[in-house]
Structure formats: C-alpha cells, structure tokens
DNA sequence: ATGGTTTTTACTGCGTC
DNA sequence: GACGCGGTAAAAACCAT
C-alpha cells in the first residue's frame, strides 16, 4: 500500500528494470516434435502445428489472425478492408457516434434550400441531444473538455490525454464522482496520467491550470488513486530535467551532466524520500556550475517552484554523491 | 491524533562586483 | 549597497501509524 500517495518517493527502483524484460520472444519456428524429435511445421489452413516427420499434431485450434479474405490487387484490398478510424478515449463516445456536418451543403457541395436547411438544423439538434443524453455522458463530455484544455496548457502529449481519459472513465464507472467535483477528478486523472506516461508535471503546475484549488486537488487525487488502485510510481527526477533546462535556456551539456549527477545520487541512495522536483532542480543547478553555464539559485527556484534552501541542500548531496562515486 | 521527516519561510553573515 | 550564496531556526506540510 505504499506508492499510492502523492509523496512516497521511497521506492526508487521502479521502472528501468521492467523495460528490459521482453527482449527475445523465442521464434516458435524451432519447436521440435516431442515424439520423434522432428521438425514441427505450422499448418495455417487447418490451424494446427504438425510434426513433419511423424504427423503428430502438436497444437490444435491455432488462431489465424489474418484477414479471412484474399485480395489480388491494391484496389481489392482497399475494398475489402473493413477498418475505419481508430476509436479514441478522448471523445466521450469514443468517436463512434454520428456527427452531422455543420455546413449546409449536400453531398455534392451544393447549398441546401431553406426548408432543407431548417430540417438539417432540427436533425442536428436532436442528434446532439441523443448523443449526450444521460447525465454521465454529459459529465464525461465536460470532463474530457477540461482534460483537453489543461493538457494543452501544460503541453502534454496525446498519449497522456488518452490515459487521463481512461482513468476518468474508470472513476466514472466506479461511481467515484458523487461528492467530488468534475474538475477535481479530471485534474487528478490528468496528473496521474502525466506521471504514468513519464512526463510528470509538478502538483503546482497542474494546480495552476486547473480551476480547483490545490488542497482539493490533492485530496481528490489521493482518493482516486486509492480507490482505483492506480499504480503511480514515484516520478523520476530525470524526467523533469529537460523541461527545466529548456525553460532556463541551458544547453544540452548541462542537461546531460544533470542526468549523470542524478544517476550517481540514485546509486548512492541519497535520493530516497526526497522530492523528485527538488532533486531535478538541484541537479540542474549543480550541473550549471560544473559546466560553466551558471544560473543563479533563485532563477532555478523560480522555474521549478522549489525553494532555494532545498536546492542548496540537495545539490550539496548530489555533489557529495558524485565525489564518492568518482 | 501523533510523531518523524522533509520543505518552506524568514533572517543573518560573508564575500564580491 | 545590491546581489548571490551558505547556514540556521522555527513553522508548515506531508506521510504513516
């Protein structure tokens, strides 16, 4: 039950380990027959794996994931494919419902007669009403709008918005909303999503673009993380570095050096329990000194929202850690 | 509610430009 | 004298129990 709260930075090991796991998916062509040791071949047509030597059926009912039709040229392939636009969680109906175009034009691009135009107006109106009929749908629609707005204000990629949408949907479907504001849950979903996607924004930053105050945001965030059992690993300090560096107009060199410092510190274990944002800020500062691209503590403090005192403390520790390591 | 840890606030002294 | 920096003490915030 740790790691679910905002500020449990302790278990630093997190990611990095799981990434290198699925490397070599064994090529299943090299299976040998358990009976005679002969080569096993795939018989796609019958969905079986058969031993080429003795005919033993090693595996039945394989699934053919390919299309069931055949195409002999590009045109036929286009015709027979039945795939459309991908669904997206970013729209409240996953982009599956019908929209009636807003232009009063028919399929040939001609303008509509006035009676036709009025008819289309009515159809549009009703279509819209049905589309967002019940309260949950409307709720969702508004929340996704909010998520969209905040995400773009924070410059978060689509992936994060998608994830945030998914989290929000889950919260909604598990009835976590009553008693909590849409804003709050939307904000929390976005914050969690940003962290899960390795592009974290600090609580302050998120709170700044949200319409709710910070206290409520944190409360709500804790709540939904707990209720949804979201796995949000402590943010990696390094993931803040590039953003801060660019906000301070520092060259790549500083960024690289900052990463090294953080790596060393992590080895030393001095990062455990400390605020990732603080560490990132300190790393930037320390790195700027080491690379002769000096920025002042207060400048770093300004863009990172970390107090100068914290920067001082952290950067001493960072330097010590690298001294010892080097 | 409480205690332990971390961060922030506020303030002071030192050296430099 | 303003500024950047380092340090300290007390307050506040936070997490866990």
pLDDT tens readout for residues A107-122: 787 888 888 888 888 8
Report the interhelical angle of A158-173 vs A135-154 (nearest 10°): 150
Is residue A147 located within the same domain as residue A193? yes
Residue A233's pLDDT is: 84
Is residue A153 located within the same domain as residue A213? yes
Residue A229's pLDDT is: 86
For chain A, what is the domain count?
A: 3
Cα A187 from Cα A213, distance rounded (Å): 10
Is residue A163 located within the same domain as residue A201? yes
Domain containing A66 — which CATH number?
Answer: 2.20.25
Question: Strand, helix or coil at A286?
Answer: helix
Residue A97, domain member (yes or no): no
Is residue A219 located within the same domain as residue A246? no
Question: From the Cβ of A312, is strand C under 7 Å away?
Answer: yes
Is residue A206 located within the same domain as residue A258? no
Domain containing A243 — which CATH number?
Answer: 1.10.472.10
Is residue A142 located within the same domain as residue A185? yes
Residue A252, domain member (yes or no): yes
Residue A9, domain member (yes or no): no
Over residues A124-152, mean pLDDT: 82
What distance, in Å, lies between the first and last C-alpha atoms of chain A?
37
Over residues A260-270, mean pLDDT: 89
Mark which of A228, A260, A279 sits at the end of a domain. Answer: A228
**A235, A216 contact by CB (below 8 A):** no
Q: Between the CA of residue A100 and those of A5, A105, A123, A141, what are the distances in Å? A: 44, 11, 8, 18
Is residue A244 located within the same domain as residue A216? no
Cα A115 from Cα A119, distance rounded (Å): 6
Is residue A248 located within the same domain as residue A290? yes
What is the helix (H) or strand (E) element at residue A121, kind and residue range? helix A114-131
Query: Tokens in use for A178?
Result: 């009553």
Sheet strands side by side (includes A48-51): A40-43, A48-51, A57-59
Residue A156, domain member (yes or no): yes
Does the pLDDT value for residue A147 go beyond 50?
yes
Does the pLDDT value for residue A85 go beyond 50?
yes
Query: Tokens in use for A183?
Result: 């804003």
Is residue A200 located within the same domain as residue A273? no
Kindly calculate the radius of gyration of chain A based on its CA atoms and give it in whole angstroms.
Answer: 28
Strands (DSSP E) contained in chain A are 40-43, 48-51, 57-59
* Mean of per-residue pLDDT scores for chain A: 80
Question: From the Cβ of A297, is strand C under 7 Å away?
Answer: yes
Does the pLDDT value for residue A184 go beyond 70?
yes
Distance, Å, A99 CA → B2 C1': 58
Under the banding of pLDDT at 50, 70 and 90, the label for residue A95 is confident
Residue A14's pLDDT is: 38
* Domain boundaries, position A62: 25-82
Distance, Å, A297 CA → C1 C1': 21
Residue A18's pLDDT is: 36
Is residue A243 located within the same domain as residue A221? no
What is the DSSP track for A201-262?
--HHHHHHHSSS-HHHHHHHHHHHHHHHT---PPPPGGGTHHHHHHHTT--HHHHHHHHHHH
Question: From the Cβ of A301, is strand C under 7 Å away?
Answer: no
Mark which of A209, A228, A247 sits at the end of a domain. Answer: A228
Question: Of A190, A200, A153, which is closest to residue A168 (Cα–Cα)?
Answer: A190
Cα A59 from Cα A81, distance rounded (Å): 30
Over residues A281-291, mean pLDDT: 94
Residue A115, domain member (yes or no): no
Residue A114, domain member (yes or no): no
Is residue A224 located within the same domain as residue A141? yes
Question: Of A186, A207, A205, A195, which is closest to residue A232 (Cα–Cα)?
Answer: A195
Of the two residues A276 and A134, the one the predictor is more confident about is A276
Residue A275, domain member (yes or no): yes
Name the residue with the least CA to C1' distance from nucleotide C3. A296
Residue appearing with tokens 């015709």? A79
Mark which of A228, A261, A285 sits at the end of a domain. Answer: A228
Give the nucleotide nearest to A275 (CA→C1').
B6
- Give pLDDT tens digits for A160-172: 999 999 999 999 8
Q: Between the CA of residue A32 and those of A26, A41, A72, A219, A270, what are the distances in Å? A: 13, 9, 35, 58, 51
Is residue A248 located within the same domain as residue A181? no
Residue A242, domain member (yes or no): yes
Question: From the Cβ of A11, is strand C under 7 Å away?
Answer: no
Cα A261 from Cα A280, distance rounded (Å): 10
């Amino acid at each position: 039950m740790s790691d679910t709260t905002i500020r449990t930075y302790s278990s630093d090991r997190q990611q990095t380990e799981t990434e290198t796991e699925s490397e070599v998916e064994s090529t299943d062509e090299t299976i040998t027959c358990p009976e005679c040791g002969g080569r096993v071949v795939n018989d796609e047509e019958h969905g079986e794996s058969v031993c080429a030597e003795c005919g033993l059926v090693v595996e039945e009912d394989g699934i053919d994931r390919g299309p069931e039709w055949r195409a002999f040229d590009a045109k036929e392939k286009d015709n027979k494919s039945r795939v459309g636009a991908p669904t997206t969680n970013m729209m409240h109906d996953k982009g599956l419902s019908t929209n009636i175009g807003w232009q009063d034009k028919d399929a040939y691009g001609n303008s509509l007669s006035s009676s036709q135009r009025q008819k289309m107006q009515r159809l549009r109106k009703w279509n819209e009403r049905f589309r967002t009929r019940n309260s949950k749908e409307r709720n969702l629609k508004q929340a996704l709008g909010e998520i969209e707005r905040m995400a773009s204000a924070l410059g978060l990629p689509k992936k994060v918005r998608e994830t945030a949408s998914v989290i929000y949907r889950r919260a909604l479907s598990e009835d976590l909303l009553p008693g909590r504001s849409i804003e709050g849950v939307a904000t929390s979903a976005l914050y969690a999503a940003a962290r899960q996607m390795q592009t974290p924004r600090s609580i302050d930053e998120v709170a700044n673009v949200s319409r709710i105050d910070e206290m409520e945001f944190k409360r709500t965030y804790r709540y939904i993380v707990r209720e949804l059992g979201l796995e949000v690993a402590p943010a990696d300090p390094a993931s803040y570095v590039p953003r801060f560096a660019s906000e301070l107009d520092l060259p790549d060199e500083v960024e690289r050096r900052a990463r090294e410092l953080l790596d060393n510190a992590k080895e030393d274990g001095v990062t455990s329990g400390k605020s990732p944002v603080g560490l990132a800020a300190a790393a930037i500062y320390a790195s700027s000194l080491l690379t002769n691209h000096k920025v002042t503590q207060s400048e770093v403090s300004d863009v990172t929202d970390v107090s100068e005192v914290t920067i001082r403390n952290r950067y001493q520790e960072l330097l010590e850690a690298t001294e010892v390591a080097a």
